[in-house]
Every structure is written in structure tokens, then in C-alpha cells.
Amino acid sequence: MNSYTAFKIVKSVHLHFTSMGYSMIKYGTNSSTIANMYAKTTPNKRYRYEWLADKLTTPQNVLYASIACVFADISPQFDDKELVMDAYLKFKGRREAIGHTLLDDAKKHEFLNSDFTFDQIFVKFVGGFYSPEYVILLDEKENRLQSMYEDKNFAWAHSNILKLIKYKDFFNSKKYLHILEQ
């Protein structure tokens, strides 16, 4: 893998998670806009993408690191390398143990108060109590995220709601719906 591939993935993920109209799944990572952005990037700024390509070695790992940075509210381009790696390792660990993570979140939900509304669970997600995957799993039944995104009362959480909506493209929640039945 090279720095250009890392650059395309990082920029595509950024566009995907910050714009309702852009879909990385639909458009991929090859676009003239991204190619032009890379051409204008100075060698001093390319070193970060070289580091990502060398350190993470595969496009899948760069994708995971980029998504991890979105949820950690850090930039793979500008923030400290250790922060980027910590976010990546935490995200990768959660994804590799997703069944256990979802079961733990379901147990927390049941233990605290299974009568919580989706909105209350979302607020707890913003506070770091629930995983994004658990909220998306619940949204499979509630179908609430889209209406929350359009609701002016949730303007304070617009970016978090958008992250969850866009993350649905990368998380197959239907595979884990049985967890909610237990």
C-alpha cells in the first residue's frame, strides 16, 4: 500500500461521515476531487499518509483507523500518531469482539432500565456509555435516527447522529438482531 491509497481512504471516509449526500460505498475512493487534492498536497503533508500506509499496511486497516478517528473526533492527518493508533486499536478490538460488545451493551441496558427510550439511549451513547453499533442495532427496530437528524430539537447532536447514520454502511446490524431478542 502507498501514501496515495491511504490518502484516498482517509479523505473518502471524511467526506462520507460529514456529508449526507456523499457515500463512500456508492462512489468509492477514486474521484477526480480526491486526486486533485492529493496533487496539491505538499510532500511535508504527505508524510502522514506514508506513515499510515507503512504502519497499517492494508486498505482495510486504514479504513478502520479512519472510521475510528471519526468516532474519536480526531484527525488522522493532524492529530498525534499515538491518538490515531489508540483509536484504531480500540475500534478494531470492538469490531473483532462485536458480539460480546453488543451483549454487554444489552445487559447494561437491561440492568439500568429497559424502559429507556431510544432518545435516552442515544444521549447515553453521546456520553460514551453505549457503543455506536448498539445504537445502530436498536435503530433497526426503532428507525429513529433519520427523524432525529431532521428534528431541530436534536441540532446539538447533529454530527453524532450523522456519524451513526453513515456508519450503518459499514456495520451489518441485521446479523446481530437476535441479541435484542434475548
Report the distance separating Cα 129 and Cα 125, nearest Å.
5
Work out the angle between the directed axes of helices 81-96 and 43-56 (0-180°, nearest 10): 30
25 lies in the same domain as 63 = yes
Range of the domain at 76: 3-95
7 lies in the same domain as 84 = yes
Q: What is the pLDDT of residues 27-85, one digit of tens each?
A: 888 878 888 888 888 888 888 899 999 999 999 999 999 999 999 999 998 888 999 99
145 lies in the same domain as 79 = no
Q: How many domains does the chain have?
A: 2
20 lies in the same domain as 47 = yes
Q: What is the pLDDT of residues 102-158, one digit of tens each?
A: 999 988 887 776 678 888 889 999 999 999 999 999 999 889 999 999 999 999 999
Give the end of a domain, one of 67, 95, 123.
95
101 lies in the same domain as 177 = yes
pTM comes to 0.88
152 lies in the same domain as 125 = yes
Give the end of a domain, one of 43, 70, 95.
95
